[in-house]
Structure 1
């Protein structure tokens, strides 16, 4: 079976890496897989994404022409009007490029809102799926970008949600039933030290780690700052010390109300070691859609304190992690304090977290994806409703049209 993935570009975010791992595992199982981009098609080989993302993100790959354009656009008086034109131009360019480079396939999978329109265009020629990895409208501030994302949820494509949170949004706000496909994690990389329980004992110094992002407010880092500051104030009087280290794409640009160490951008084994060396992994986003850091950190044998929305598939408060509602600073603070003062209870939670993570191997997740493929092929209905319009545009008037036009 031939499968084509419609990809905007070769990014290195968690969502992109999820796709690459699914593609790798499909090739391992004998599928013929292609990555279709707006500029080129690639016959997929296992692990090739590591070189592709390196090229995509290298300094030499930066397009000087685009940098100059951006500088000029920012100086134009009617920049907002120019930006709207640029957005539509880019959408058209991406859609045309994907269609032109598409390899005829049994199944074609859109992977991002800006690729879904090409998926719809091809839906009469292939089983067209839309693998959604977040509610992408929230990524954009510009209203036109938001509408481009939102309108893809109305397209007549078979949709896949990566989390129960997203699946619920699709049903509640768009009346769309979707498949559920949780991502996997590499359990050979995100694994625990045999002596991981040694860190959960009575002690006065605790290590917390978090994801750092000051540009996207919804990532909730300012909430983490407030919670850690308050926890430090309360626990300091009891003789406890909290060390806080954070990782992320970009370093801090301002001074915060409590101290932390920024360690840079981490991936794969470096990230796994970072989690494993911590006592608590604190994540305070307002909303996510199956975020990888909590489940990856669970697999390394560390306690997760996370906010609620998007982690429902794998994280249960008091069972395999500690969960609060987002933006509830006192609740987050209380969870930190409870964990530090109750290492025996934490050790029980951490053990269960490791067991939970075992259900998210790539093998098990790819089994689910194959089940979705089989069901989609059986239930797919090629859209012949547009045959009328196609014939009219091509100057044809056929017998069936009398019934079509009757009132």
Structure 2
């Protein structure tokens, strides 16, 4: 089977890397896979994405420098900024269409690529692999609607989480397949004697993802919760050491201390998780975030907000879950974990077991089942009727079509 992935670019975020791993695994299983971007087409080879993201990162840096020199006014001119974005999106859709290769299945992966997928839908089986509710990424109303409208396009939809699947069904009445991401269990794995750290002690280490640009990532909530937990535990002589990682360092001071340890990936990140007693996620919403499941695989307790982790964290069984923005509840979970290390051990053991269900092999099995099913059941919707009418052709078959 030949499969095309429509990519907006070669990003290096978790969602992009999830796609690359699915593509790698399809190639391993004998599929002919193509990565189609607005700028070119690549016959996929296992692991080639590692070089491509470096190449595209360098290209982006050069473009950013030019943009900052030539168009500084756009940051403060909403109309100009919107026009530039719409122009760029239109250019990207055209580029995707022009670079597309005839394949059995074409998978859109981002809201902009979904429009190219729709355009190609009379020549291929069109899938839309949704990795978040993308309207939430934008504040400009036009951009929000561009993203929102993709959920009503006649594409076969795949949700990466039960949370997203619920949103798409509830608000758009659209069904979707469920395809959770995988993680590299060769990288994210528990260390030797990983349960030994869960004992009565005076120093506990918390690890969190740092992001002060996107408020919905909830870092300010984490600050308040950790401060509250510190205030409660300090009277017992217990110290919380807080380490955070993220793409960019802090630009301001916060009301409680933490150490920014840098931009970490793969083995470095796994080591940080292994050294943590607690990994804390406080996002307002996510769609199958990777840090919690990676931390579980690494043998650490995860405390997470609820929306987006429902597929793999059950409160009190393999981790601790709270509602977002409930500062006192989050702080109480931290305090409970530190005061009950024996109970935490069983949560961590179950967390490791849960993570083993998310190998790339098992996740690719699910993807393959979806591809087989849609190929078998897809009813090819041709638009010949509309094409003929537009171009002034009227055929005998139309009498039946208009009934």
1:187-206 to structure 2, matched below 5 A, reads 187-206=185-204
2:233 equivalent to 1:232: no
Secondary structure at 1:389 match in 2:
helix
Mapped contact 1:153–1:170 kept (Cα < 8 A) = yes
Secondary structure at 2:171 match in 1:
helix
Q: By how many angstroms is 1:405 displaced?
A: 5.2
Q: Aligned equivalents of 1:393 and 1:260: distance in 2?
A: 64
Secondary structure at 2:71 match in 1:
helix
**TM-score for the superposition, normalised by structure 2:** 0.97
Q: Aligned equivalents of 2:142 and 2:85: distance in 1?
A: 8
Question: Could you list the per-position Cα deviations for residues 27-77 of structure 1 after superposition, in whole angstroms to 9, with x for gaps in the alignment?
Answer: 1101111100001000111001011111111378522443344314346xx
Question: Could you list the per-position Cα deviations for residues 336-357 of structure 1 after superposition, in whole angstroms to 9, with x for gaps in the alignment?
Answer: 0000000000111000100000
Mapped contact 1:55–1:61 kept (Cα < 8 A) = no
RMSD: 1.3
What residue in structure 1 maps to residue 122 of structure 2? Answer: 124
What residue in structure 2 maps to residue 392 of structure 1? Answer: 389
What residue in structure 2 maps to residue 66 of structure 1? Answer: 67
Which of 319, 322, 334 in structure 1 is aligned with 2:320? Answer: 322
Secondary structure at 1:52 match in 2:
helix
Q: Aligned equivalents of 1:12 and 1:330: distance in 2?
A: 34
2:357 equivalent to 1:359: yes
Secondary structure at 1:264 match in 2:
coil
Deviates more, 1:49-58 or 1:292-301: 49-58
Secondary structure at 1:119 match in 2:
helix
2:308 equivalent to 1:307: no
Q: Aligned equivalents of 2:331 and 2:164: distance in 1?
A: 28
Question: Could you list the per-position Cα deviations for residues 259-289 of structure 1 after superposition, in whole angstroms to 9, with x for gaps in the alignment?
Answer: 0001111001000001001100001000000
Q: Aligned equivalents of 1:35 and 1:309: distance in 2?
A: 31
2:85 equivalent to 1:90: no
Q: Aligned equivalents of 1:60 and 1:359: distance in 2?
A: 36
What residue in structure 2 maps to residue 40 of structure 1? Answer: 40
1:240-259 to structure 2, matched below 5 A, reads 240-259=238-257
Question: Could you list the per-position Cα deviations for residues 189-239 of structure 1 after superposition, in whole angstroms to 9, with x for gaps in the alignment?
Answer: 001112111101110100001000111111000010000001000100011
**TM-score for the superposition, normalised by structure 1:** 0.96
1:260-271 to structure 2, matched below 5 A, reads 260-271=258-269
The gaps in structure 1 that reach 5 residues or longer are none
Q: How many residue pairs end up in the alignment?
A: 402
Secondary structure at 2:180 match in 1:
coil
1:58-207 to structure 2, matched below 5 A, reads 58=58, 61-63=61-63, 64-74=65-75, 79-207=77-205
2:20 equivalent to 1:23: no
What residue in structure 2 maps to residue 53 of structure 1? Answer: 53
The gaps in structure 2 that reach 5 residues or longer are none
